[in-house]
């Protein structure tokens, strides 16, 4: 797992995808419908823990992309294929909302595409690599 910091570098282009704050319940409902492959890349918290930690949740107006913020920690970024550039737009909006660091699992180690490559393309820099068990299903 890699921990990454961002110097709040936003993509230079204007995002065409609009995001709005949603309740944690709505966010969890949308996440529950994601494919298992997508969910295994996230650290999925329960409703009580998310409420206790006052996590802010955001979805695109189409409900095809989203993210959550735990203070400045960006988590649960997702985008369905139907929403072109939804992942990039979600990260850009998370930065605008105050997010500046995240964790991601490098499940495709050695591949040309993976979460670390995606986030480094948005200006994030790895500052710590953590050893994880690949059998875990909860990742950030």
Encode pLDDT of 51-106 as tens digits: 999 999 999 999 999 999 999 999 999 998 888 899 999 999 999 999 988 877 66
Q: Which residue has the higher pLDDT, 112 or 94?
A: 94
Of the candidates 48, 52, 56, the one whose C-alpha atom is nearest the C-alpha of residue 22 is 56
Strands across the sheet containing 124-129: 19-22, 56-60, 65-70, 73-79, 101-104, 2-6, 124-129
pLDDT for the residue numbered 108: 57
Which option is the CATH number for 2-129: 1.10.10.10, 2.60.40.10, 3.40.30.10, 3.40.630.30?
3.40.630.30
Single pTM value for the model = 0.79
For the chain, percent helix, then strand, then coil, each to nearest 5? 25, 25, 50
Domain range list for the chain: 2-129
Residue 126: helix, strand or coil by DSSP? Answer: strand
What does the alpha-carbon distance between residue 67 and residue 76 come to, in Å, rounded to a whole number?
A: 5
> Is residue 130 over pLDDT 70?
no
Are 68 and 75 a contacting pair, CB within 8 Å? yes
Task: Please tell me whether residue 9 adopts helix, strand or coil conformation.
Answer: coil
Cβ-contact 66, 27 below 8 angstroms: yes
């Amino acid at each position: 797992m890699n921990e990454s910091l961002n110097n709040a570098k936003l993509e230079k282009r204007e995002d065409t995808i609009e995001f709005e704050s949603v309740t944690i319940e709505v966010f969890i409902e949308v996440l529950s419908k994601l494919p298992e492959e997508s969910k295994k890349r996230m650290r999925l918290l329960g409703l009580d823990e998310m409420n206790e930690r006052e996590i802010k949740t955001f979805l695109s107006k189409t409900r095809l992309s989203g993210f959550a913020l735990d203070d400045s920690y960006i988590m649960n970024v997702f985008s369905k294929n139907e929403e072109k550039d939804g992942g990039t737009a979600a990260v850009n909006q998370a930065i605008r909302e105050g997010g500046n660091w995240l964790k991601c699992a490098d499940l495709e180690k050695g591949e040309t595409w993976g979460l670390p490559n995606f986030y480094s393309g948005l200006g994030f820099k790895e500052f710590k690599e953590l050893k994880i068990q690949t059998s875990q299903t909860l990742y950030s």
